[in-house]
Structure 1
Amino acid sequence: MTTTLLTNIGELTTNVAAGGDPLGTVHDAALLMADGRIAWIGQAADAPARGQDATIDAGGRAVIPGFVDSHTHLVFGGDRADEFEARMAGTPYAAGGIRRTVAATRAASDEELRLRLQRFTTELHGQGTTTFEIKTGYGLTVADEERLARLAAEVSGEVTFLGAHVVPAEYAERRDEYVELVCGEMLRACAPHARWIDVFCERGAFTPEEARRILAAGAERGLGLRVHGNQLGPGEGVRLAVAAGAASVDHCTYLDDADVAALAGSQTVATLLPGVEFSTRQPYPDARRLIDAGVTVALASDCNPGSSFTSSLPLMIALAVREMGMTPAEAVWAATAGGARALRRDDVGALAPGMRADVVMLDAPTRVHLAYRPGVPIVQTVWVGGRAVTPEPSAR
């Protein structure tokens, strides 16, 4: 059993609520990682004196749980930088650009897609993300969706089947046939590699009636439910997700009082994706309204080539604080524990004995610096399951 003691932590965020602090902050702290799990947490003065394979002095730095990114689209081919440039010049965002990425992804080889996934994994780890979901949705044929799910499963246990991303061009006049394909042969091919099913319930994508049918088919196959909803305008996505018992409804940009009330009375997490609003110039979601109503909020990157080509959860935290009414503490919780709730995981997103040792040390004295120093790479060292995946400080 490999053991590592991380000591002299100036500010440790555990996300284990204590004394009115939902982030369970411990100052002058230490934690012990053993065999991939958290074995002990407490004051540095009380840390086990011996028996570690390595002891690392944090030098008063802050330590947080690894980020949990519960919404990404990492397996794709091609590039859409020209669309971003056009949006910055005033062209409005529309979901139809997805079909460009579908064409590029279909043309890419498995090895090309695998190499890109490996690069994204390294990129995510370098920014403190230790758990990440990956959606399919850029294949939209049985064979291509199956291979995207299979490749995604090579790097993540959180794979989402998103055959219901948009209706592909070849089915434009045969929507019912495509929905039948998604619910039948495509779902059967992808389900062995996936944990979740998702549907883009939005104008330009799938109607509420189509979305209900697709989610029901996924549930019958034993997959958990997720929904893209209320991104481009008001709609039924949020209430559809809550009624279906979805783990998460993502975007939540345009909400009315009934949507907020439905979320507040449910176990469905509202996953906010401020990278999309940054990239598309849409209004930001009102996180303050949701939190004050008692809704569980998560932050995720929505990393994709069209509307949010960033994998940086530190950037999402900074945007949430600056543009969405969240405090730094709320934003850090949403990017860690909130993401874990959106994935219905109880082994990540917090630091407590028995949990997976996904640990991030910041080159900063406090977690507030994640919003205070936007764009600065302050993630210093990242451990995933107790294993350093970025350069580890010198141990003694």
Structure 2
Amino acid sequence: MSTTLITNIGELTTNVGSPEGDRFGTLHDAAVLIDGGRIAWVGSADAAPVAAPDAHRIIDAGGRAVIPGFVDSHSHLVFGGDRAAEFEARMAGQKYAAGGIRSTVAATRAASDDELRERLRGFMREMLAQGTTTVEIKSGYGLSVTDEERLVTLAAEVTPEVTFLGAHVVPAEYADRADEYVDLVTGPMLDACAPHAKWIDVFCETGAFSVEQSRRVLEAGVAKGLTPRVHASQLGPGDGVRLAVELSAASIDHGTYLTDHDIEALAASDTVLTLLPGVEFSTRQPYPDARRLIDAGVTVALACDTNPGSSFTSSMPFCIAIAVRDMGMTPAEAVWAATAGGALALRRDDVGLIAVGARADLVLLSAPTRIHLAYRPGVPLVDQVWKDGVAVLAAPGATSGTENHGSLAR
């Protein structure tokens, strides 16, 4: 099997902590050897291994930065329509509320499988172009047995990280009958969707589902072999964090409004707090204080929450820039949260880092350091992307590296 050596890397972010205390695993003048779809070697460019006889590719990074592929652990990519008018109204002062989801439900139900599939694959290409190599996708815009099943089925065509979110909101046909809808979610809908999903999620929030209803949903999912995730504390304080920690949820997502008790509980748990900066940008809610969370010992991830209502962005670099500018994170912390943090939120140890045995998911930036992801917001700095060792993206006219189809040499 052929190998690829990426060498002359000016700054390599491995996310493998060092004895010297650099938890970001930063190397300079580095190289990475890819064998098949995995990382075979990482170290100084001067010490790169001699090529095997069948090796055939060298990539010269030209002194630029390489980071792990982004791991987006929270997205809603399967939907119909859009809600641009709702965004415009918010920018004019209207408050965001969970109920707007129902308009997307109507558009999604009306869309064909092929229409949804084409759009989904378009979003996946969009994410890949911005360095995202691992994506979690939720259902939640069907809210009927048939439609939720087709959404998780479509999501499973493009990622193993599929989340059943039938408990997104109560659909219009169940207005004032929320408990009956929970019966549907935890019964026939879960039966239909669980075979296609890995995770179970619920929107535990005013205007969506109560703590008691959320518990029913999550416990039913666990009984079917799914692992909990929780949307909570987006619109105001609540008991969602307590529930998530109690049920050993992989992550609680949003966390815009957290109490001191919430933070203490998260810091003492294995539950990751996934922050979604695009939501606060789009809704004009206050940004979470990531500095406070990190200093308290909470494990923080960053994700885009790509959806048509509250965060219609698929750009992890954009979210990193916001996290640095408005949430108190350093550039290194933000990149870690968007890679290793996302991997922890998905309970993955094979992505989000550059280490021997990990999947060869890497991003070459057209910049000398990861700092530039926040320093140059809005600029397309993702130059080349490798997914499972395969070069899946090279920017048109890219000049960041050279490729030599010869043997690997020191």
TM-score, normalising length from structure 2?
Answer: 0.96
> 1:391 & 1:327 partners in 2: Cα distance?
28
Coordinate RMSD, CA, aligned: 0.8
Give the CA deviation at 1:239: 1.1
> 1:383 & 1:180 partners in 2: Cα distance?
44
1:295 paired residue among 281, 295, 298: 298
Which position in structure 1 is the counterpart of 2:200? Answer: 197
Give the residue type in structure 1 aligned to 2:219.
A
Give the residue type in structure 2 aligned to 1:56.
I
> 1:230 & 1:369 partners in 2: Cα distance?
31
Give the CA deviation at 1:394: 4.1
Give the residue type in structure 2 aligned to 1:28.
D
Which position in structure 1 is the counterpart of 2:34? Answer: 33
Which position in structure 2 is the counterpart of 1:224? Answer: 227
Gaps of 5+ in 1: none
Deviations 1:188-227 (A, max 9, x none): 1001110000000000000000000100000000101100
> 2:88 & 2:390 partners in 1: Cα distance?
39
Which position in structure 2 is the counterpart of 1:21? Answer: 22
Which position in structure 1 is the counterpart of 2:43? Answer: 42
SS of the aligned residue for 2:63 comes to coil
Alpha carbons 2:61, 2:402 under 8 Å: kept: no
2:388 paired residue among 358, 361, 385: 385
Give the residue type in structure 2 aligned to 1:215.
L
Which position in structure 2 is the counterpart of 1:143? Answer: 146
Give the residue type in structure 2 aligned to 1:167.
V
Moved more, 6-15 or 174-183: 174-183
> 1:239 & 1:56 partners in 2: Cα distance?
48
- Pair 1:9-2:5 in alignment: no
Moved more, 326-335 or 46-55: 46-55
Give the residue type in structure 2 aligned to 1:137.
G
SS of the aligned residue for 2:200 comes to strand
> Mapping of 1:261-272 within 5 angstroms?
261-272=264-275
Give the CA deviation at 1:173: 2.5
Give the CA deviation at 1:2: 2.5
Gaps of 5+ in 2: 396-400, 405-410
Which position in structure 2 is the counterpart of 1:310? Answer: 313
Give the residue type in structure 1 aligned to 2:14.
T
1:215 paired residue among 218, 242, 256: 218
> 1:391 & 1:261 partners in 2: Cα distance?
44
Deviations 1:84-112 (A, max 9, x none): 11111111111111000000000000000
Which position in structure 2 is the counterpart of 1:395? Answer: 403
Deviations 1:117-158 (A, max 9, x none): 111111010000000000000000000000000000000110
Alpha carbons 2:7, 2:59 under 8 Å: kept: yes
1:96 paired residue among 92, 96, 99: 99
Give the CA deviation at 1:368: 0.3
> Mapping of 1:117-196 within 5 angstroms?
117-196=120-199
> 2:176 & 2:136 partners in 1: Cα distance?
32
Alpha carbons 2:366, 2:383 under 8 Å: kept: yes
- Pair 1:77-2:85 in alignment: no
